[in-house]
Each structure stands twice: as C-alpha cells, then as structure tokens.
C-alpha cells in the first residue's frame, strides 16, 4: 500500500515531542501501526509541538520507530505550521455564536463555586454571559498585565457519548473547553479534532488516559461539521504504584533500555508478554510478528505494570 489515497482511512500516532518515549508510549504507537496495517488503513504521524517542546525529541521519536521497523506512510503533520487551520475552525464556531472570551486565571477557576452537576475541574461558567461593558474592563485589566483572554467553546455542560472498540460506551459531560489559551496557544482538544479530520483519520487509537477527552472531541467535530472517527483506547503501562511511568521509575525510556542491553526484538518480546498474547504466533521479534499476533478482540483493558530495571 502506498498510503497516498485519501479514500483509504487512516490511523495515527501523535506523540508530543516533550521528552523521550517510554515503553508505554512505544507500546501504544506500535499498536496504532499494527491496527492500521491489520485494517488496511494508512498509518500517519503527527508532531504535536505547540507546547512543551524538547529540542531534538520529534526526530528522535521518529528514529526510534524507524529502528523498530515502523515508518509513517506520509510525511508527518507538524502542528506548529497549522495556525491558519486552527484559526479558521475557531472563526467557524464563532460565526455560530459558540465562542466567548474568558478572562479567568487558574486561581479564579479553582476558587469559583462549581456549576451544579458539573464534573470536578469543569469550567464554572464565570465569563459565559458577561455584558460588553464587563468584557471591556476585563480586557483592559489583562492588557495591563500583557495577557490576552482565552477563547472558550459555549458547550453548556452537555452529555456526549462515543463508542470505543475496547471500552464500549464512553460518556462524559462536555464543559466550556478552551479553544485558544490566554498565551495564544491553540488548545489540544481543538487542534486534535482539526488535524485528525484534515488527515482523514477515521479511527483513533491512543492511550486510555485520553478516553475521557473523546466525547469532547467528538462533540467539537460535530459542531465543525467534520466526520466522526472511531475510537480505540488501549490500556496504559504504569509503574508499580499504579502511576504513569516517569523518570524516577528507573530505566523506562527506549534509549535507557537500549543502553541496558535491550535489542530491538526484546521490545517486541516484552510487548507480546505485556499484552497477554504469549501463546499467539510464536515469540515476536519484529513488528511483522506483532501484526500477525495482536488480536484486538482479545485485548485486555487492564493496565500493565512495568517493573523498570534499575537505571545505572
Ligand atoms: N500528543 C498527545 C500525547 O502525546 C496525544 C494526543 C492524541 O493522541 O490525541 O499524549
């Protein structure tokens, strides 16, 4: 498959180039590639570089996957080059009366009484219905501090649902999420929806820490008149205390494990064991073995614990 036919659907891996990929990120990225290959989709790559960029990380992430035998079917999409598309999406929502300026600081939001039935952390609606006079004075106050208002979606805490291949029905309340932050950076929920649609992504496979964001993103796609993708959230790899893997856990990144002697086939052997597919297709040594061995219908939704070797 050459991968250039947009009529063929696509899957993707969209790591933030904010640091080194750890074994859990690698497992999710490999699963995304395997799913695309098993279902005849293109496999695309997106560099989510709007925030927290570590120099060299985007190239190093692509190199790691190339070593593992995975290359995207098209050149990666780079978010920092797509401001016009994000602005156009906000303009469309604004034309429908669905965008408002928000002048709240994080502290203001934390201290405001929350709206009835809103999930913890949901925006309390402070700036939703301000009059023009109040807006002017808030704008002036922010300008004096060199700040700009954020832009929020008028979503009014509505329930939205998606169906996930592994998790089944995922419901969440959609609050007035941020579309563009006060520092001018386009917000994750907006950029992901605009980019997935523009690339023809019709199934999103990623870690299940983002499952609760899927209803918001689906709702935003609906408002923007974009096609709805399918969803497949895979379990995360956690440390022994049940938290996300981090530096303090020892050798968890690709580079650290390589320097402790792991060869490329060892990553596939570990992935096979971690997914509980030990009895399928012999011992995996390559991504082709993984394509033959992964059975999404038999995949567990339970997180996997990685006991990191001590980082010497
Ligand atoms: N860039 C996000 C991350 O690295 C993933 C975004 C997504 O898959 O929707 O966690």
Give residue 2's pLDDT.
Answer: 44
Evaluate if residue 301 carries a pLDDT over 70: yes
Give residue 93's pLDDT.
Answer: 98
Q: What is the pLDDT of residues 101-144, one digit of tens each?
A: 999 998 888 888 876 667 777 899 999 999 999 999 999 999 99
Do residue 121 and residue 52 come from a single domain? no
Do residue 73 and residue 90 come from a single domain? no
Do residue 58 and residue 104 come from a single domain? no
The enclosing domain of 110 has a CATH number of 3.90.800.10
The enclosing domain of 60 has a CATH number of 3.40.50.620
Give residue 281's pLDDT.
Answer: 63
Give residue 3's pLDDT.
Answer: 44
Candidates 72, 68, 175; CA nearest to 121 is 175
Q: Which atom of ligand 1 is nearest to the CA of 15?
A: 4
Q: Which atom of ligand 1 is nearest to the CA of 12?
A: 8
Q: What is the pLDDT of residues 147-191, one digit of tens each?
A: 999 999 999 788 999 999 999 999 999 999 999 999 999 999 999
Q: Is residue 200 part of a domain?
A: no
Q: Which runs of consecutive H residues, i.e. helices, occur in the chain? A: 23-39, 57-67, 83-95, 106-111, 132-144, 188-198, 214-223, 254-259, 264-275, 287-293
Do residue 94 and residue 155 come from a single domain? yes
Do residue 248 and residue 277 come from a single domain? yes
Do residue 153 and residue 71 come from a single domain? no
Q: What is the pLDDT of residues 200-241, one digit of tens each?
A: 999 999 999 999 999 999 999 999 999 999 999 999 999 989
**Total tally of structural domains belonging to the chain:** 2
Give residue 312's pLDDT.
Answer: 57
Give residue 25's pLDDT.
Answer: 95
- Return all residues near 102 (Cβ < 8 A) that are at least 6 apart: 123, 126, 127, 149, 150, 151, 152, 176, 178, 182
Instruction: State the distance from the centre of ligand 1 to the C-alpha of 137, rounded, in angstroms.
Output: 37
Cα separations in angstroms, 257 against 3, 83, 192, 251, 303: 32, 37, 31, 6, 21
Which of 153, 175, 190 terminates a domain? The answer is 190
Candidates 226, 214, 167, 163; CA nearest to 189 is 214
Q: What is the pLDDT of residues 75-94, one digit of tens each?
A: 999 999 999 999 999 999 99
pLDDT: which is higher, 23 or 115 = 23
Q: Is residue 117 part of a domain?
A: yes
Q: Which runs of consecutive H residues, i.e. helices, occur in 68-177? A: 83-95, 106-111, 132-144
Which of 190, 215, 250 terminates a domain? The answer is 190
Give residue 1's pLDDT.
Answer: 42
Give residue 263's pLDDT.
Answer: 96
Q: Is residue 265 part of a domain?
A: yes
Q: Is residue 274 part of a domain?
A: yes
CA Rg value for the chain: 21
Give residue 224's pLDDT.
Answer: 98
Do residue 114 and residue 170 come from a single domain? yes
Do residue 67 and residue 99 come from a single domain? no
Evaluate if residue 300 carries a pLDDT over 50: yes
Do residue 75 and residue 93 come from a single domain? no
**CA gap 89, 192 in Å, rounded:** 12
The CB of 215 under 6 Å from ligand 1? The reply is no
- Residue 277's domain spans which residues? 11-79+235-305
Q: Is residue 310 part of a domain?
A: no
Instruction: State the distance from the centre of ligand 1 to the C-alpha of 48, rounded, in angstroms.
Output: 7
**CA gap 69, 246 in Å, rounded:** 25
Give residue 116's pLDDT.
Answer: 67
Do residue 144 and residue 66 come from a single domain? no
**CA gap 169, 162 in Å, rounded:** 6
Do residue 71 and residue 90 come from a single domain? no
The CB of 155 under 6 Å from ligand 1? The reply is no
Evaluate if residue 40 carries a pLDDT over 90: yes
The share of the chain scoring above pLDDT 90, in percent, equals 80
Do residue 267 and residue 286 come from a single domain? yes
Q: Is residue 202 part of a domain?
A: no
Give residue 159's pLDDT.
Answer: 92
Average pLDDT, the chain: 93
Which of 190, 219, 252 terminates a domain? The answer is 190
Q: Is residue 201 part of a domain?
A: no
pLDDT band at 307 (very low <50, low <70, confident <90, very high): confident
Q: What is the pLDDT of residues 231-277, one digit of tens each?
A: 999 999 999 899 988 888 888 999 999 999 999 999 999 999 999 99
Instruction: State the distance from the centre of ligand 1 to the C-alpha of 5, rounded, in angstroms.
Output: 25
Give residue 157's pLDDT.
Answer: 81
- End-to-end C-alpha distance for the chain, whole angstroms: 43
What is the reported pTM?
Answer: 0.94
The CB of 206 under 6 Å from ligand 1? The reply is yes
How many other CB atoms sit within 10 Å of the CB of residue 104?
19
The CB of 229 under 6 Å from ligand 1? The reply is no
Q: Is residue 197 part of a domain?
A: no
């Amino acid at each position: 498959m050459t991968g250039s036919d947009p009529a063929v659907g696509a899957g993707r891996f969209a790591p933030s180039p904010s640091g080194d990929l750890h074994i859990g990120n690698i497992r999710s990225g490999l699963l995304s590639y395997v799913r695309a290959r098993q279902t005849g989709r293109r496999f695309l790559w997106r560099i989510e570089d709007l925030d927290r960029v570590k120099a060299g990380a985007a190239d190093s992430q692509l190199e790691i996957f190339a070593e593992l035998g995975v290359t995207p079917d098209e050149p990666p999409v780079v978010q920092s080059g797509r401001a016009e598309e994000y602005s156009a999406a906000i303009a469309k929502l604004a034309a429908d009366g669905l965008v408002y300026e928000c002048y709240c600081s994080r502290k203001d939001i934390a201290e405001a009484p929350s709206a009835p039935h809103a999930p913890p952390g949901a925006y309390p609606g402070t700036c939703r219905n301000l009059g023009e006079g109040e807006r002017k004075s808030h704008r002036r106050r922010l300008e004096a501090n060199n700040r700009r208002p954020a832009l929020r979606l008028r979503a009014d805490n509505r329930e939205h649902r998606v169906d996930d291949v592994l998790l089944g029905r995922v419901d969440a309340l959609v609050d007035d999420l941020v579309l563009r932050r006060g520092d001018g950076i386009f917000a994750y929920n907006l950029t992901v929806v605009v980019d997935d649609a523009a690339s023809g992504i019709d199934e999103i496979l990623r870690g299940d820490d983002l499952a609760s964001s899927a209803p918001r993103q689906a709702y935003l796609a609906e408002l923007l008149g974009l096609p709805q993708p399918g969803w497949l959230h895979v379990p995360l790899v956690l440390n022994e205390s049940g938290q996300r893997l981090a530096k303090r856990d020892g050798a968890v990144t690709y580079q650290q494990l390589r320097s402790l002697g792991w060869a490329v086939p060892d990553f596939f052997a570990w992935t096979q064991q971690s997914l509980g597919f030990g009895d399928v297709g012999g011992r995996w040594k390559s991504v082709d073995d993984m394509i033959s061995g992964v059975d999404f219908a038999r995949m567990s939704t339970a997180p996997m614990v990685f006991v990191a070797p001590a980082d010497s």
